[in-house]
Structure 1
């Protein structure tokens, strides 16, 4: 039998056998062949398996790239959330992302290990090895896809947090811009003050103190956080606006300090001149009235002189501070001088007022008595308005005021030629104050 006949007979036999048996038979033949007589059937299966494995490898690579991209994008989202706010929700999201990250790292390591385990370009790669590579690459691809799905669902759950973070982020740029604009305006205001001849050193130091805050604003919310950045911008805005306003007022403040210096110096001279008249007033009081009427005024001349002297020192200090353009310090010294001169003015005026009032009461006390009685009667009428019996809380003080008034009148009449007019006046004043307190209490209660 020729070799051609044998080949044809074997071909017919292969067609009639089942596919699996045909495969076994062909594999067993040492001279099995492919069409054209140059390719074996076994190598064809190996190439087909290699192609499937290569396709699985490409799919795994695509899945790995998509997973890596999703993880990197999600990491940026979590960094944005962390920068935008420190809240329990953002902390829980960060913890969940860390857990997912561990899962992704494990799957990625499995993917790389699988790639390293199978060299699909090897010449000796057989069908069995290619099929194993296909199965393992398909498995790791499924894991990569599932992990990508977990990241996607997690990202969707962050939508409310992301929306809130975006709202806060949208506030950062306008807030920082406003702060920088305010700093520029403050700088220009300082320049304007300097052009008018004022150094404005204090304000310049305050403006320079905002330098670190400006650097932090330039570094951005990514480094310092969204909320802290917005708060920092607001602080810079307030301080810069205050500096600009004060710089704009510097010429006016300087002029105001100059006016107050002149006014207080004039007032000090007037009080010093008036204090010279206190001595004769005290002499008149001593001559005409008992000691109780003037003893508390004995040191008025010395007190006035001391107050005027201290006020003069304060004014000198204010002028020095004004010359150094330390306006806050100058204003403080002016306030001290004003207070000292006010006390001296009151003391000097008190002596003259005392003599005038004692002279009037000595001439005729009926006017003061009538004023006190009217105040008490007016309070009594108000206390009885709409009532048949007065409220004890009001009746008690008013009865005491009446009794006090009667005692004061009796003591004045019993004082003879030199009664204690000053005690009489203070007692009547106390009666009026008591009546006024009752009136105030009644009106507050209604």
Structure 2
């Protein structure tokens, strides 16, 4: 849908030159000529043969009105043409960025408006070509008809321009969005390039320090095709896709840069962890040797149920320490080969093995300590548990005549459970470990009831 210029449409004989252009030139010439020259030129018009040039009266007034109508139509035509050109730029901007249904509808509406513009333009050009207002023998009726047609053409051009203006105003949100994305395009691409350069420089610095960082180099090399597409530009790949690519390159390159800059510190941290875990494994080897004497005392002084689950702790501890030492050697090799992820994963495995061993070894000593304490004075454990129950009962009764059944029932059950645990201490070889686990369970149940009461009352406040 192109802009239409005035010309001699459909009339053979003078291609490339329109009466509109000639008329506009003559109008400008008449306006710009000095008055004395007009005074000299006018009488000379009568020197020709049988032509008749009429001045004065209604005829000259009608010619002037027709010429004014022609000038007004020309101005309206060029205003419409300029508005159409400006709007086409806006449409092209939207199309370059937006592929939504709204953008497609805007393009369709613009094409429809283009057809209206073509119709109005052809009406105007037809009116210009139909009447030569410069003819000496122009009749007043012809001039009046020309004025009418040119005025009608001008009105139609103005009407279409108003439609174009309303359409332009409706494009505001789409155009703002498109211009925003276009404004982001160049900075986004430049940031992606600069981040890639920073990542490359960081990788070079790491290699200069003697660290290979092969995985980071591979990740950076994988971004090369993306950089090529960024350099090819949005004209080939589209604005939205180019913006997404720039964001993706920026994110991935920034991750490589950050990891490269942390790599020396990461290597140093792995070295520290190797030393620390090796020392800890040696200490656990020593502590594991102390488990057997603890078990011997447990066997000698307490019932089978108090220590039976600890029987395999020495063997399990020794095996775990041996596995940890094997993994430490593998981690050291991975570090020497600069396989950083492998070294980190192996060290995490070593730590888990040593933590489990530490817990198992500590459990044997803790078991003996607690059993010694309760066997000397079980009353302390009993009172501790009863105090927790009574405190919960007071809370359940606070501000009430009777407690809520959902609170009272588990507290009553806890009282009965504690009584049974106390009764289990009677006899020659009481199961102190069962007693301790029962009192712990009672206190846990009571704590849950207390938390429930406080939560419910907090919500009702």
TM-score (norm 1): 0.72
Residue 308, structure 1, aligned to residue 336, structure 2: no
Partner of 2:269: 256
Partner of 1:426: 437
Which of 173, 188, 203 aligns to 2:186? It is: 173
Q: What secondary structure does 2:199 align onto? A: helix
Which of 379, 387, 408 aligns to 1:366? It is: 379
Q: Is the 8 A contact 1:200 1:325 kept in 2?
A: yes
Partner of 2:202: 189
Map 1:60-71 to 2 at 5 A.
none
Label 1:153 to 1:429 Cα distance change in 2 as closer, same or farther (>3 A): closer
Distance in 2 between residues matched to 1:406 and 1:146, nearest whole Å: 99
Pair member with larger Rg: 1
Distance in 2 between residues matched to 1:363 and 1:159, nearest whole Å: 87
Map 1:4-403 to 2 at 5 A.
75-99=88-112, 154-155=167-168, 157-403=170-416
Shift of residue 403, structure 1, vs aligned partner = 0.9
Label 1:278 to 1:190 Cα distance change in 2 as closer, same or farther (>3 A): same
Q: Is the 8 A contact 1:80 1:222 kept in 2?
A: no
Distance in 1 between residues matched to 2:443 and 2:172, nearest whole Å: 74
Label 1:372 to 1:108 Cα distance change in 2 as closer, same or farther (>3 A): same
Q: What secondary structure does 1:387 align onto? A: coil
Partner of 1:444: 455
Distance in 1 between residues matched to 2:157 and 2:356, nearest whole Å: 88
Distance in 2 between residues matched to 1:194 and 1:232, nearest whole Å: 28
Cα RMSD after superposing both structures: 4.3
Deviations 1:401-441 (A, max 9, x none): 1111111111112x32x111111111111111111111221
TM-score (norm 2): 0.70
Label 1:223 to 1:443 Cα distance change in 2 as closer, same or farther (>3 A): farther
Aligned residue pairs total 392
Q: Structure 1 regions of 5+ residues with no counterpart?
A: 1-34, 42-62, 111-134
Distance in 2 between residues matched to 1:327 and 1:234, nearest whole Å: 28
Distance in 1 between residues matched to 2:122 and 2:271, nearest whole Å: 81
Q: Is the 8 A contact 1:85 1:225 kept in 2?
A: no
